[in-house]
Copies of this chain bind each other. A is one copy, B any other.
Amino acid sequence: MTEQAFFVLTALVGEPRHGYGIVGEVAELSGGRVSLRVGTLYGVLDRLVAEGLVEPDREEVANGRLRRYYRLTERGRDELATEADRQAANARAAVARLRAWRPGEAT
C-alpha cells in the first residue's frame, strides 16, 4: 500500500468525507508531512473503491458546490489496521538496528 492510500484510509476513519475534505484532513493528520495532490487523490480513490476498501457514501450540494462523500468499508478498516502494524514493525526493525550499531561500533 502506498503512503497516499494509507493516509486516505486514515482520513476516512470514523466519518465519511468528500474529496477536497480528504486533502485537508491528510495534511492535518500527517502534520503537513504529506500533501496529497488532487491529481493523486482521484486515482487513489478509484483504486481503493475497486479494491473494496472504500465506497461512495452520498452526494450533497453545499453552497452550490457538489460534494461527493466516501466512507471506509469494514475491509478498509481491517487493511488499514494491518498496514499500520506493518509500518510500526518496519520502523521498529530499523530503529533496533540503528541502536545496535552505533557509529564506530561496526562489527
A38 interfacial by beta-carbon distance below 8 Å: no
Copies of this chain: 2
**Could you tell me which residues of chain A, from 51 to 107, have a CB within 8 Å of some CB in chain B?**
74, 77, 80-81, 83-95, 97-98, 100-101, 103, 106-107
A72 to B65, CA, bound (A): 52
Contact for A13 among B31, B81, B101, CB less than 8 A? B101
- What DSSP secondary structure best describes chain A's contact surface? helix
Interface residue tally for chain A (C-beta within 8 Å): 36
Q: Which residues of B contact A83 (CB under 8 A)?
A: 94
A31 to B91, CA, bound (A): 13
A37 interfacial by beta-carbon distance below 8 Å: no
